[in-house]
Structure 1
Amino acid sequence: MLWVDKYRPHSLDKFELHKQIAANLKKLVVSGDFPHCLFYGPPGAGKKTLVVALLREVYGPGAEKIKVETRPWSIELPSRKLEVELTTISSNYHVELNPSDVGNNDRYVVQEVIKELARNRPLDVAGNKGFKVLLLSEVDRLSREAQQSLRRTMEKYSAGCRLIMVASNISKVMEPVRSRCLCVRVPGPSHAQIQEQLSLVARKEGLSVPVGLGERVALLSQRNLRRALLTLEVAYVQHGGLDEATKVQPPDWELYCMEIANDMLQEQSPKRLYQVRGKLYELLGNCIPPELMLRALLSELLRKLDDELKVEVVKVAAFYEHRLQQGQKPIFHLEAFVAKFMALYKQWMQANFG
């Protein structure tokens, strides 16, 4: 088992990273008041771990007895019949799903699938709560129509169903949805906190993390604890131990994004754009989220650009990141960003160096 899963805290009492948040959630459960919740914060901050611990606090160990299934859903629309496949993780007390997995059909999933799940209340066994919890991941990626449908569902089925939503960017969640939830901000851990957690996990494995290695891993993790633990474990497996000289490197997909950024800077031509398109397709084929690809490309480009160009390139990236949220085909918008950057960079080069 991976270290990141092996040493994940399973109860609110054992949370070291977000002690105050865990204590407040426990008070909420004890009080008997359990509203719809929205957990938001950067990736790897511990949002999902807090939610799982909260479910265990409410329902007991039974909430951890889960099954994963992918099943087809048949949704009757006025003009046609829509067939979608959705993967769910469920126990007797909760169901976890990601409606954004079905793309622009997410509003139908919210309208029909969640309604069906919300109607089925769990049995009130041994004094457990008489409502079911629906855990929705990546709510910030839902379309506007889906979020509007979600608002109505929250109101209609609030008696027998509680929604717990997880988002990385709360600004992409509509105000009517936010206003109906208890919003819990889960901040990303600091570099010092990440180093502390790395040392704690290593000690449980009978290892020690040198200060220099811990600093490098924390810096590379970009305040993402999950990524930091995975990076440390990869370094340990590759080198057979942990010492000051142990090398750490970014994930392969990030190295590939760096290569694409270098390609964009070296040559600006239709031929190079075609080559970059192939590499973007390869990353998408390996299930790398397009938003992460765009962010990694922008970060690498900004490191190598003149200050005069940086503001314009950030504006272009923001424009196409917004288009990514609205459109269906990520490759169109990623390629458009690459083409626009190449045009800007070539124009700047000609103006400054003839």
Structure 2
Amino acid sequence: MSLWLDKYRPTDLSKLHYHHEQAENLRNLTKQGDFPHLLVYGPAGAGKKTRIMCLLKELYGPGVEKLRIVKMNFTTASNKKLEVSTLSSNYHIEVNPSDVGIYDRIVVMELIKNVAQSHQLDVNGQREFKVIVLTGVDELTKDAQHALRRTMEKYITHCRLILCANSTSLVTPAIKSRCLSIRVPAPTAAEIINVLQIVAKKEKYNPPEEMLQTISQKCDRNLRRALLMLQAASQDPKSQIREPDWMLHIQHVADEILTQQSIQKIANVRNMLYELIIHNIPTNIIFKTLLDKLLAKCDISLHEKVVGLAAEYEHRLHHGNKKIFHLEAFVANFMYIYKEFLEDALDALM
């Protein structure tokens, strides 16, 4: 059984269900004689990748839909072998360099050089350049971003880069200044309901209005999540619309932190956080969701302190290698602040 998310993903700019003015601007962009590097950014589930693929189809035609998975091998200066999975057609290649961690600089430099040195299979009527789609650009190390800046200047005549990121705050100014930035906002609740109705109609499924409203509220404006929730609900209409298991797990982590503040509890929370990490939940998503759950249940007078603490450890999270250290340090410091608040409140009552 195929996922509705993939089955009904729009493949043409004219078939996008929201941000129509932006789609028209992208179409006009492809008609220009020169095509710039692009930085496409926005929250998860907003439709960045869908718009990128529609843009590529507008540039090259249906040939970009004939995709294949290719394993590429790279070697570090210390002779360490790296293997990276790429998704490619005859006209473009897509890769997430951050998959190799601290060696992402090598992948960025070698990949762009290899693509720039290759030629189109069919040059008649096609563009003079290939496109490299780099996802997770905001997760690249500083070295990789500096290397990216140099290589995107060196090989601009042979290839164009489309960079995809959830946020531009971690992208260096040098890269942002060399790209045309395109923000893809998250769809509104009404737009999500509209897409759910369109997909449900194609599947000859008639969900109640209350279900669509509930999904639009619980999906956090993430269309990908909303479609998955709708498909899950269609298999068992009597089941209750729930948040994803990983979100429920983070809620349990937050409850554990608020219930008791001790060394033993920190150890328990560490194991629970490891469960999320080994199931490939991104650490920045874990951090943000945990912060939201904690803020929802702690006194408003603590919000300023907790948010300041979160900003400090989120910065460390993005610049450190062991993510669990920074998550655990945030939890320990939050416990200290929260326990101190509870003790002060108890003293005030005595």
- CA displacement at 1:314 relative to structure 2: 1.1
What code does the residue aligned with 1:74 have?
Answer: T
What code does the residue aligned with 1:182 have?
Answer: L
User: May I ask how many residue pairs the two structures share in their alignment?
Assistant: 346
Contact 1:123 1:130 in 2 (8 A): no
**Cα deviation digits, residues 174-224 of structure 1 (max 9, x gap):** 111111111111111001111111111111111223222111101111111
2:178 to 172, 177, 180: 180
1:58 aligns with 2:51: no
Contact 1:191 1:219 in 2 (8 A): yes
Contact 2:74 2:106 in 1 (8 A): no
State the Cα RMSD in Å.
Answer: 1.4
Per the normalisation by structure 2, the TM-score is 0.95
Per the normalisation by structure 1, the TM-score is 0.94
1:220 to 218, 224, 235: 218
Distance 2:183 2:72 in 1: 33
Distance 1:228 1:290 in 2: 22
1:346 aligns with 2:344: no
Identity of aligned residues (%): 47
1:229 aligns with 2:230: no
- CA displacement at 1:114 relative to structure 2: 2.5
Match of 2:13 in 1: 12
- CA displacement at 1:117 relative to structure 2: 2.4
1:142 aligns with 2:145: no
Match of 1:46 in 2: 47
2:110 to 112, 125, 142: 112
Match of 2:250 in 1: 257
Contact 1:298 1:317 in 2 (8 A): yes
Match of 2:266 in 1: 273
- CA displacement at 1:325 relative to structure 2: 0.6
- CA displacement at 1:16 relative to structure 2: 2.1
- CA displacement at 1:155 relative to structure 2: 0.5
**Cα deviation digits, residues 311-342 of structure 1 (max 9, x gap):** 11111111111111101111111111111111
Query: What is the correspondence of 1:1-354 to structure 2 with a 5 Å cutoff?
Result: 1-75=2-76, 77=77, 80-237=78-235, 239=236, 241=237, 247-354=240-347
Distance 1:256 1:57 in 2: 42
Greater displacement, 96-105 / 109-118: 109-118
Where in structure 1 are there 5+ consecutive unaligned residues?
none
Contact 1:217 1:232 in 2 (8 A): yes
- CA displacement at 1:246 relative to structure 2: 5.3
Contact 2:131 2:160 in 1 (8 A): yes
Where in structure 2 are there 5+ consecutive unaligned residues?
none
